Amino acid sequence: MSTANASKCLGEKSPTYLRSDGTRLMEFPTHTITGVTLNACAEACTDEENVLTIATFYSIIKVPGHMCSSFEYDARSRECAIHADDGQPFGESVLAKTNKSIAFFQKLCVLDEALCSSPYAFERFPQSILIGHAMKVLNVTGLSECLSQCLTAPLSLNTECRSVMYFYEYGECIINRERRIDRPDLFVEDVQDQLVDYFENNCHDGKLHWLREVSMQGFRLQRCQTGMPSDDRVRPSQINQSDINDD
């Protein structure tokens, strides 16, 4: 699984997206399309090399070939903004909070077998964790590998992955079988002493098969923090190891 920086997915990999609600990229888009659905917006980013014909709510338009690493979609105005640039954690561009009707989508390349029909595979919740439901703790090379491990967990790890946490300083990937909606009392936001993100698997319905519908529910997000960790903090594996469930 490669990062969004590469833009084009190679080999036996196909693009999907990482969603961040209430967030936008502080860069000008290369293309703007109005009157389209989320699926059509994602298609415009995915099919970046060809001239794409899109049926909007108003007319038929052609989108010329372009580079797309990310896009924004405004569900209220049905406006799609295509970006060649990307933001954290894949790119250097700045992300900023905006109104809840706007969502920011970053391209990910996943194995074809892990792809589901939803235009996005994960929802991102910066600086958040879910306590006490770790199934596996993995050492990985980066966020992309961590998310890929979650998507293929039923086959490769013989476990469900409804959500996943990634600790950036340590390269540790925590596979969870529960979501924040299942245990809101154990979901912690605005974590200050770790650089960590929580991701919810939008391709999983809890029955070890892929979802076939798009969730449009919005959630509040906070801007990702980028402070460096102190040397005396406990590693995430030490915090979670005693909570790992073997059944």
pLDDT in tens, 44-101: 888 765 545 555 555 555 555 568 899 999 999 999 999 988 877 777 777 888 888 9
Question: 95 vs 47, 101, 168, 177, CA distance in Å?
Answer: 24, 16, 18, 29
- Of 217 and 191, the structure prediction assigns the larger pLDDT to 191
E strand segments, the chain? 13-21, 23-25, 31-34, 52-55, 60-63, 70-74, 79-83, 95-97, 102-111, 122-126, 129-130, 134-139, 163-167, 172-176, 187-188, 196-201
What is the domain range of residue 121? 4-243
CATH number at residue 19: 3.50.4.10
The structural domain count of the chain equals 1
Mean pLDDT of 14-25: 91
- Angle formed at CA 168 by CA 2 and CA 235, multiple of 5 degrees: 140
SS3 152: coil
Residue entry with tokens 């910066």: 126
User: Which of 80-84, 176-180, 219-223 is the least confident region?
Assistant: 219-223
pLDDT in tens, 128-164: 999 988 999 999 998 888 999 999 999 899 999 999 9
The predicted model scores a pTM of 0.74
| Structure token digits, residue 168 | 């950036």
- Of 4 and 25, the structure prediction assigns the larger pLDDT to 25
